[in-house]
Amino acid sequence: MQMSVGRAGASLRGRLSLLERTGQPERSHPRQAGQRGGRETGGKIRQQTMHPENSGRSPHSFHVRRTHELYYLSMQRGREQADKMEERGRKRRLKVCVATCNRADYSKLAPIMFGIKADPDSFELEVVVLGSHLIDDYGNTFRMIEQDDFDIGSKLHTIVRGEDEAAMVESVGLALVKLPDVLHRLNPDVLVVHGDRFDALALATAAALMNIRILHLEGGEVSGTIDDSIRHAISKLAHYHACCTRSAEQHLIAMCEDHARILLAGCPSYDKLLSAHQRDDYMDIIKAWLGDHVKEQNYIVALQHPVTTDIKNSIKIYELMLDALISFNKKTLILFPNIDAGSKEMVRVMRKKGIEQHPNFRAVKHVPFEQFIQLVSHAGCMIGNSSCGVREAGAFGTPVINLGTRQTGRETGENVLHVRDADTQNKIYHALELQFGKRYPCSKIYGDGNAVPRILKFLQGIDLDEPLQKTFRFPPVKECISQDIDHILETQSALAVDLGGTNLRVAIISMKGKIVKKYTQANPKTYEARIELILRMCTEAMVDAVHLNCRILGVGVSTGGRVNPQEGVVLHSTKLIQEWSSVDIRTPISDTLHLPVWVDNDGNCAALAEKKFGHGKGVENFVTVITGTGIGGGIIQHSELIHGSTFCAAELGHIMVSLEGPECSCGSRGCIEAYASGLALQREAKRLHDEDLLLVEGMSLKKEEPVSAIDLINAAQLGNPKADAVLKTAATALGVGIINILHTVNPSLVILSGVLASFYQSPVQQVISQRALSSAQGIRVVTSDLEEPALLGAASMVLDYTTRRIY
């Protein structure tokens, strides 16, 4: 071993060390001066010390030199030991860097930052701010971090404006260019990263490549869109995990993460909101944001973000949400969307509809989290696709409407009503009717208010001497499937009611369109008798549903005539159903069964049945034509049922195809129904029979049997030229009417339904190929495969609107 005993610095350190330990000054030794002065001959001095036989000096001299050397050896070892102890002391104070990118993740990170700051003996806090925090259009939210009295170590402008896919990629690249200098300067022991934003992916990538340990918050969760991929990618880069739910923990284990490095902590924001949402001044906060006349639970909070994997559809949903909120006519606090691709287009839609100037709306870029808690907890409803709706709102029991697929897969409480296929304004409007003003039991799926102490203890337990390289575990973990007892024992079903001119029918129909049980009675002639029979049949069906293990979600009613589906009122009925105009059918059924009720015209219901269960499934534009006792139908345009301004759209039977044709039941002449309906064919069959021109060889009629349209068709098939001419005229009238529809709304498919559909299909297709414009001649005409389109359509209204939970 070589020693630097001849160096002044070592001697000084030894002297100071002795003074510190003993309180006595170092004794002077005769050889010290010579050794300090012999730097360049230190090697010879050491050699003489090691080999006294070559020194030519006395044994006493050798003994002095040896004692002196051992003294300095002990001094150096003592100092090294003290340095190691001091270094261990420094390591116990963990340097934690918290990086926040936007207002949402700061609400989760702030409680942890306060906890770290409150324990300076254990932690040293560094704060890095980047992303949309530093953009004026998004509220310059870095100021709230400063207001919370945190020292921001670095502000990084990392957002490339454009709000499209390319801008997101460029923003990640810009962050990766700027982050290395900051992380190298701060040199943290641990970097805390939250969630699933593209900014967080840049942070995790930079830290992993720079050998900095990463703690990832809220990993293992499942939602929708590109967020899932980003969240899981960050989890694979992270060394430690603090997750919110047991399912998230199991997902991380299934992703081969080390169970010992996973903490089931709960959501940090719950620590704040569970203790702070019952403030006495909540009404002052509500009035400050929404006006003096707004009452508790009588306003809506709306927050919708773009879905980066389906931007076009997410913008459409946003527009439909705004239309529904305008129609719903309640005070609404609407927050601007986040900075993801598509947000610019969403803001453009908002401004095009005049939301910022609308008296019912207050559009804001940012609300401080403490105030946002109050606004959400006391709202009549929250709508959109923000994770706040499926996470934080559950802690208050606030009703939530989750639109689209952005949160698909998240665990939710019973306060959340999912409208995954939010393709119509009416669907969203009905969801508002179902949810607004309700209160639900508080849910603590995402936390119990003690997440921060758990996370701080977890940080203190990190051993910096452990190898930095991650090791992945491959345990045989079975997927944990959460099931509800209702899903095991019951079939989610709808109660469907069809009011025809002759019969009144009720059916229990399952989610897959299976008719579990059907009830049929003659339709009474008076209003009172009809309502009484409907309620009695529905009540009987509800009792049977229990024994059939069917859970009835609601009631759908199909009826002839003109219907206002928003109010559930039959405005004007056909002549076939008497005493059935200006009738509120929703209220008595809903009051009796305590279930939501939907009402629509039978033609519209047939179109809805095809859309959900038949040929129209997945078709954006099609027309359904009912060919039965009368002629009716429904029009689906851009996947939405068309009702019209006065609810008389798709009265297809009353399209006029002749100026001087037969009289129609509507009072006009020349309508399709006057030529091609079952009643019209029956009329012509009776005329021919009265003139003895109907029956041909092979036909017979009993005297007591009335002549029907079937007799006319049989006669034509047996070669009766008069009957055949009548049917050709009827088919031509129907075909010309459908051509008018093709030239007006240009569907891609025509579906014929009803008892006469199979007869009309071929001749109508022929009329279209001969008379339609060339661009419409190729449109297909098909016959419906559905057994009960009116009942199935009534059921589809219920089944589409009442699915509320995800498992």
Catalytic residue numbers? 602
Which residues, in sequence order, are CB contacts of 441 under 8 Å at separation 6+? Answer: 397, 413, 414
Helix (H) or strand (E) holding 255: none
The position carrying tokens 């050397």 is: 69
Nearest to 152 by CA among 142, 162, 161: 142
Which residues, in sequence order, are CB contacts of 159 under 8 Å at separation 6+? Answer: 131, 132, 134, 135, 167, 171, 174, 339
Instruction: Provide the 10 A C-beta neighbour count for residue 768.
Output: 22
- Residue 609 in contact with residue 796, Cβ under 8 Å? yes
Helix (H) or strand (E) holding 751: strand 749-753
Residue 242 forms beta bridges with which residues?
Answer: 217, 263
Dihedral of the alpha carbons of 376, 380, 381, 386, in degrees to the nearest 10: -10
Spacing of C-alpha 442 from chain mean position: 20
Separation of alpha carbons 313 and 405, rounded Å = 10
Instruction: Provide the 10 A C-beta neighbour count for residue 265.
Output: 27
Instruction: Provide the 10 A C-beta neighbour count for residue 680.
Output: 26
Give the C-alpha distances (Å, rounded to integers) separating 69 from 10, 25, 75, 448: 12, 18, 10, 64
H helices of 302-424, in order, are 311-328, 343-352, 369-377, 387-390
* C-alpha atoms less than 13 angstroms from C-alpha of 82 in its C-beta half-sphere: 13
DSSP for residue 776: T
Nearest to 683 by CA among 712, 655, 661: 712
- Residue 434 in contact with residue 417, Cβ under 8 Å? yes
Nearest to 596 by CA among 641, 549, 557: 557
Q: Residue 466, exposed/middle/buried by CB under 10 A (0-12, 13-18, 19+)?
A: exposed
Residue 94 forms beta bridges with which residues?
Answer: 123
Coil, strand, or helix at residue 123? strand
Rg (CA), the chain: 39
Give the C-alpha distances (Å, rounded to integers) separating 305 from 108, 198, 313, 333, 402: 18, 14, 12, 15, 11
Helix (H) or strand (E) holding 126: strand 123-130
Instruction: Provide the 10 A C-beta neighbour count for residue 267.
Output: 28
At residue 206, what are phi and psi to the nearest 5 degrees?
Answer: -60, -45
Q: Residue 102, exposed/middle/buried by CB under 10 A (0-12, 13-18, 19+)?
A: buried
Which residues, in sequence order, are CB contacts of 430 under 8 Å at separation 6+? Answer: 596, 598, 801
Separation of alpha carbons 636 and 650, rounded Å = 10
Look at the chain and count its residues.
Answer: 807
- Residue 604 in contact with residue 624, Cβ under 8 Å? no
Neighbour-count burial for 693-726, b at 16+ CB within 10 Å, e otherwise = ebbbeeeeeeeeeebebebbbbbbeeebebbbeb
